[in-house]
Chains A and B, each alone.
Chain A
Amino acid sequence: MNRLASREDLVLARKQSEERIAGMKCRILVCAGTGCLAGGSQKIYERLCELCGSDPDAQIVFGEGAACADIHTDVEKSGCHGFCEMGPLVRIEPYNFLYIKVKPEDCDEIYNTTILGGKPVERLLYTMNGVTYPAQEDIPFYAKQKRLVLKNCGHIGAEHIEEAFAFDGYKALEKVLFTMTPEEVIDVIYDSNLRGRGGGGFQTGYKWKQVARQSEPVKYVVCNGDEGDPGAFMDRSVMEGDPHKMIEGILIAAYAVGAQEGYIYVRAEYPLAVSRLKIAIAQAEEAGLIGDNILGTDFSFKLHINKGAGAFVCGEGSALTASIEGERGMPRTKPPRTVEQGLFGKPTVLNNVETYANVPMIILNGSEWYRSIGPENSPGTKAFAVTGSINNTGLIEVPMGTTLREIIYDIGGGIKGGRKFKAVQIGGPSGGCLIESDLDLPLDFDSLKAKGAMIGSGGLVIMDEDTCMVEVARFFMNFTQNESCGKCVPCREGTMRMLEILEDIVNGRGTMEQLDLLEELGNAISDTALCGLGKSAALPVLSTLRVFRDEYEEHVRDRKCRTGTCKALSSYVIDPKLCRGCSKCARNCPVDAISGELKSPYEIDQSKCIKCGTCKANCPFGAVLCS
């Protein structure tokens, strides 16, 4: 890649990239997100490479780096397609066919029928309610989405900057550098009412304004890629699948506030994201889009990657900057705020990956366009990672204000196994629980806040009737306590006491007084903790305690877990009417707790039973009951 020394150079590079892609006979996009890789997409990719290797006009886009079989075939690397439940996925352009649950042995047929013949392999297409959907865009999972931030994820090669050029990459930077003043850039972002996607929902334009007006000449731009919520992978997908979009957003922010240097803070647990970002930064530097005198202008900017060591709390702004500085990742008291004294004590813009990825399209399409998407106070789209008891787990992007019902039933395809919806945990480990009556709640910053929940970074964990809410609360409290930095007393000690109480309850040792104590602790922690993590640490407990108090009381008063999740509260018994005395349970019991004589009912010795459930799983007559 030659250095692009001027605006004209960039325009030319874009034109060449567009022409190259338009000239391809077809592009094969094999998903290499974590889910699809686990499903074996590497083998699919290799097989397709073998088959297409001699075809100079076919292009295979894949998420993992692998050598190309033939120098004439342009093998690219892409990110997650989002439809993880149906993986491994293969998309073929220009037909836009999406093949689901592909196996390596399907590749020959794909090659012969689609690549050579231009026809779909019917049996690999997505079918729902008897309808087959050849085109990806028509599948309900995608049709109801509005993919703007994730638009290129899975559609472009993430390791070649030319791919980004072909899909409007750095077009917004060009516009900003050559036609807008920094103040105008801030005004557009401010007018768009873009709110921080990391969870806080703070107005991005206002943040930039505050940093821009600081008299200190040295300023920093920091990107928070420390996505730590269990099950959340929105930012990861952007970093892996379309890193240049985010880098472009960072560059625009730097130009707007007058920063000369920036950091991307990524979790070390995202090695692919780290390597993609490294490649992307190196290529952008080579192209002269990062460095001195970008595109021949006065604007210069350096961008570094900083790997986090795995602390959830480092997603908090001041802990994150401390971590970059080489200090222990602990939040500090505010003021001074990050916009005044952030990284190395200098004014700092700190936004998360998804927020930066929104910036280029706002610049290109204008603030009015952006505000037309979603509700007035929370415009734009939001990416969610949908997991749990739902048919279509995966990564989605919808306009803000979409209801939970639409997400769960239309896009998500409903609850697994036709079970009844019970609750959804939103906003990560420190978020809140929403229930059946909240299903028509529009998902936006303010509506959720009013419900005592938050969007957070965008994790949605769907739970059905078989989920024990006390155990869920215990699970999240365990996570938060482990991830508490330990600095302030309420969070360090308070969450530990709450966890101990929850452990008592699920183990059948709870008392009714402890339920009140949980509430007292929860409220105190929320009011007195130092940082956002601490303040919201008790939310899962408080919200489940409010909505599912009867379940807590059952655990304590009746020593009963209605879902059978809490092992200490359940016991296995053999129904003598159903038992035929086959002895299979006794033979399989790992602790010899079952005894009896052949052909007469067996019995379980409760004092020996460890409640592993092996007997129930093995009984051919359904005679072992769990109560």
Chain B
Amino acid sequence: MDYMTIDGIKVPIEGEKNILSLIRKAGIDIPTFCYHSDLSIYGACRMCMVEDDRGKMFASCSEQPRAGMVIHTNTKKLQQYRKLIIELLLSSHCRDCTTCTKNGMCELQSLAYRVGVHAVRFENRKEELPIDMSSNCIVRDPNKCILCGDCVRTCSEIQGVGAIDFVHRGSKMQISPAFGKNICDTDCVGCGQCAVVCPTAAISIRTNVTEVWDAIENPDIRVVAQIAPAVRVAVGDKFNLPKGENAMGKLVKALRIMGFDEVYDTNFGADLTVTEEAREFAERLESGEKLPMFTSCCPGWVKFCENKYPEFAENVSTCRSPMSMFSPVIKEYFAERDAKEGKQTYVVAIMPCTAKKDEILRPDNHTNGRKDTDIVITTQEVIRMIRQVGIKFETLESEACDTPFSMASGGASIFGITGGVTEAVLRHLSPDKDHAALESIKYSGIRGKEGFKEATVSLDGRQIRIGVVHGLKNASDLLENIKAGKAEYDFVEVMACRRGCILGGGQPVPMGPTTRTARTNGIYQVDQLSSIRYTDENPFLAKVWEDIIAGREHELLHRAMD
């Protein structure tokens, strides 16, 4: 075993690609802005500089460990430089911390405190740049950008979108869409992964909290919440609950305290989707047309496909997403009562996703011109609302959702993770509904964190070729393979965010390895603890179908195709 010495600690080299990883393994939390293990090495923030025993300084993120190396991470000089770098970043940074949306969660702010920058010796002479509010999903404030490039690399390397990049040189450098366009005029799909990696508030979630409070305040409005599957395993993050713990019951209670009239589970919507999408898939299999069929739950993916691969647009299932199927059903459910009581039902969708904010504005998701989901707020926003009210979330007692949309299958709950939609659909299509069938689907190869998964399952004596991808770059690669004739599928599930909705753009950050694993386990636990695992066993579903949906499937559950 090779070793190197870090601050006097002998550290074994076990295949680490850079010295930074070894330093962190040694238990030293060296700060960085631009290093993310998932992204290519950029080396711009210079915070991870270290000094070797000959006094040579280099960035530890880009240096390979060599046996016998001796390095120091906290010499006086290094400490001084780190402090100066933060000071330099602050020197051209908007310093209105108290009113910043990232106040208290900003990495620049916390590092400034950590390394002891108590004054900035330079005045900010930088010209103020306009804020880009053009997107329904995110807000770009270049005055808060520290140009670490994390968003640029995420957008191009993970998502294959490349909506933003660096423009101009020197101190005039900015991150911007090409030709200074607004972000809404680019191929941006609104996934919000740029906001996830942004250390400051240079890219943040477009918040709609005010609209929700306004609706709650209005006595003529029936405020109905629906909570997406991935929200429950993340919302507790900011209230000291164990990572990945299912906090659905507490969230339901909190929403009731805040004044929501009805609280429902989007998982019910997912059961609708499973039913309808399985039917559509069976039809396509039968006719052999528009195969492979791509899933349509993820608005980031749907938009990506339209933008970059319009030739595959008709392969995407015409089913609306669970949220967008559920909302019209809710509105139909209350239609009569609304008319009688002179009220208006207002659906607030609590989502792990920023792209959902755009999905609800798409006319093809409207029913006869009616906007079904009125507003989308993300997990992060609902956390902010809970804090605004002062609810001690962690001490709340759990409550169940309101009937009849309270019960859902385990299959619906795993929509929040990559492979989940496929798994639920396969369960639905499976003729056997026993434990063995569940296990065989579980181990067919569709679970797991690999970006690109393939499986073949047998259905009615037919071999169904399945592809599961998450991260749009992976989706792009898969589509290229199909185009090149290198791969053939019948059914493809795509989630824009890696690992699926549990790491969606609206989820609380940071989302490091521990969080990822905890949320994954959390989601699967929801499934395992469900009293019903198969969609077709949901007793409320049949009733709702019969009362509301029957005969109106295309109007309520599908995107309007022209």
Residues of A within 8 A of B (CB): 311, 313, 328, 330, 332-335, 481-490, 492-497, 500, 517, 520-521, 524, 527-530
Contacts and interface: CB of A to CB of B under 8 A. Distances in A.
Which 6 residue pairs spanning A and B have beta carbons closest together?
A486-B173, A333-B43, A333-B62, A496-B171, A493-B88, A484-B170
Contacts of A524: 80-81, 84-85
Contacts of A529: 46
A283 B171 CA distance: 44
Contact of A492 (B41, B57, B64, B171): B171
Contacts of B77: 527
Given A481-B170, A483-B170, A530-B46, A489 B41 contact: no
A282 B46 CA distance: 45
B169 A486 contact: yes
A489 B85 contact: yes
B169 A335 contact: no
Contact of A486 (B49, B62, B84, B171): B171
B172 A486 contact: yes
B43 A493 contact: no
Given A335-B64, A528-B85, 12 more contacts: A332-B43, A335-B62, A484-B169, A484-B170, A486-B147, A492-B147, A494-B88, A495-B171, A497-B122, A527-B49, A528-B49, A530-B43
B172 to A, nearest CB: 7
A579 to B, nearest CB: 42
Contact of B122 (A335, A484, A500): A500
A328 B166 contact: yes
Contacts of B121: 517
A492 B46 contact: no
Given A484-B171, A497-B88, A500-B122, A527 B165 contact: no
A509 to B, nearest CB: 12
Contacts of B88: 489-490, 493-494, 497
A224 B143 CA distance: 36
A604 to B, nearest CB: 32
Nearest to B88: A493
Given A493-B89, A496-B92, A333 B169 contact: no
26 contacts: A328-B165, A333-B42, A333-B61, A335-B63, A481-B171, A482-B169, A485-B170, A485-B173, A486-B147, A486-B166, A486-B169, A486-B170, A486-B171, A487-B173, A490-B85, A493-B88, A493-B92, A493-B171, A494-B84, A495-B170, A497-B91, A517-B121, A521-B84, A527-B49, A527-B77, A528-B46
Interface of B: 41-46, 49, 57, 59, 61-64, 77, 80-81, 84-85, 88-89, 91-92, 121-122, 125, 146-147, 149, 165-166, 168-173
Nearest to B86: A489
B117 to A, nearest CB: 13
Nearest to B125: A500
Contacts of B166: 328, 330, 486-487
Contacts, number: 99
Contact of B91 (A332, A486, A493, A495): A493
A486 B44 CA distance: 9
A482 B168 CA distance: 10
A371 B95 CA distance: 59
A468 B147 CA distance: 35
Nearest to A517: B121
B49 A492 contact: no
A587 to B, nearest CB: 40
A32 B381 CA distance: 69
Given A489-B46, A490-B88, A494-B88, A528 B81 contact: yes
Nearest to B146: A489
B44 to A, nearest CB: 5
A524 to B, nearest CB: 5
A486 B42 CA distance: 13
B171 A530 contact: no
Contacts of A333: 41-43, 59, 61-62
B41 to A, nearest CB: 6
Q: Which of B42, B43, B45, B88 has the most CB of A within 10 A?
A: B88
B82 to A, nearest CB: 9
Contacts of B168: 486
Contacts of A500: 122, 125
A333 B170 CA distance: 18
B44 A487 contact: yes
Nearest to A491: B170
Nearest to A311: B169
Nearest to B56: A527
A518 to B, nearest CB: 12
B362 to A, nearest CB: 34
Given A328-B165, A483-B170, A334 B62 contact: yes
A497 B169 CA distance: 15
B63 A489 contact: no
A310 to B, nearest CB: 10
A488 B58 CA distance: 13
Nearest to B167: A328
Contacts of A482: 169-170
Contacts of A496: 92, 170-171
B45 to A, nearest CB: 6
Given A490-B46, A493-B89, A520 B170 contact: no
Contacts of A334: 62
A330 B49 CA distance: 20
A528 to B, nearest CB: 5
A64 B168 CA distance: 35
B214 to A, nearest CB: 42
Contacts of B42: 333, 487
Contacts of B41: 333
Contacts of B59: 333, 530
A567 B322 CA distance: 70
B173 A492 contact: yes
A520 B171 CA distance: 19
A532 B36 CA distance: 25
Contacts of A488: 43-46
Contacts of B89: 489, 493
B55 to A, nearest CB: 10
